Amino acid sequence: MTHAKKLKREIRARSAKTGESYTAARRQILLARRKPEKPASKPAISDASIAKATGHGLDYWFGVLDAFNTPPKGHTAMAAHLNEEHGVRGWHSQMITVVYERARGLRTMNQSCDGDFQVSLSKAVAGSVSQVVSALRGGGWLDGVDPELSRAFPKSAAVVVRDPNTAKLRYKWGASIIDMRITAKKGGSTVAVGNMKLADAAAVERRRSQWRGALESLKAYLAK
């Protein structure tokens, strides 16, 4: 029995037992299937990998940034200082700066260098990029999705199709910005969502939960 058929069977069984509509039963089953979120406490990059790439560990680079960042100069200036004055390659200079900012209380998890917050999720789904785009434009996958997210999602979504393998959708949800990208992969597509310009960590967790449920709903819709 395929995953899709098994899911449909579970939904119908719950609907018959509880009297819920098919849509409501599907939403509850998808919610129950969610995996608990792993703690986001792992450093952005390890001390060992930094030492291997730069010749020095994080303690050394923290000392460099402590000396440079008085008075505070900001993320861009610190990363540029590591890159231009100490020869640290671009990506590593960015990661060292991010870890430094978190360690010094200048930035928390999911916080951008501009001070706002953001969250990203992705989901592998069945169907080609064009099929995913058709589903997004049709809106039927929104049945049972968190009502706030459903209301904010643009009707007849103006998805930009770049080529047969990629498409994107960008829109505003309140004060935040949504960036959705669809990319072809073997056997289906990957849908990645970035929710930027959030006010705080609480907003991050709320949007994480909303988008996780929405991507599960989209996956189930495409599997029908």
Average pLDDT, the chain: 85
Judge contact between 181 and 192, C-beta under 8 A: yes
The Cα–Cα gap between 204 and 185 comes to 28
Instruction: Report how many helices (DSSP H) and strands (DSSP E) the chain contains, helices first.
Output: 9, 5
Residues 119, 211, single domain; the answer is yes
Residue 72: both structure tokens together: 């505070």
89 closest CA partner among 79, 78, 99, 100:
79
For CA atoms 222, 25, 119, 136, the dihedral sign is positive
Confidence of residue 183 (pLDDT cuts 50, 70, 90): very high
Residues 196, 136, single domain; the answer is yes
Residues 133, 199, single domain; the answer is yes
pLDDT tens digits for range 70-123 = 778 888 888 899 999 999 998 898 889 888 877 877 776 666 666 678 888 999
Residues 129, 189, single domain; the answer is yes
Give me the CATH number covering residue 218. Answer: 3.30.530.20
Residues 140, 188, single domain; the answer is yes
Rounded average pLDDT over 1-17 = 75
Residues 81, 139, single domain; the answer is no
pLDDT above 50: residue 44: yes
The Cα–Cα gap between 72 and 158 comes to 42
Q: Pick the residue with more confidence: 1 or 161?
A: 161
- Residue 29 has what pLDDT? 75
pLDDT tens digits for range 20-43 = 787 777 777 776 766 544 444 455
Angle in degrees, CA 120, 125, 131, rounded to 5: 110
**Domain end: 65, 80, 103, which one?**
103
As for how many domains the chain has, the answer is 2
| Domain ranges, residue 60 | 47-103
Asked, for residue 195, whether it belongs to a domain, the answer is yes
- Residue 2 has what pLDDT? 59
- Residue 109 has what pLDDT? 66
Judge contact between 115 and 187, C-beta under 8 A: no
- Residue 41 has what pLDDT? 44
Asked, for residue 151, whether it belongs to a domain, the answer is yes
Residues 97, 68, single domain; the answer is yes
Residues 78, 173, single domain; the answer is no
Residue 118: both structure tokens together: 């953001």
pLDDT tens digits for range 58-83 = 999 999 999 998 778 888 888 899 99
Residues 97, 121, single domain; the answer is no
Residues 124, 215, single domain; the answer is yes
Judge contact between 127 and 188, C-beta under 8 A: yes
- Residue 39 has what pLDDT? 41
pLDDT above 90: residue 14: no
Q: Pick the residue with more confidence: 103 or 124?
A: 124
Say which residue the tokens 């969610």 belong to: 34
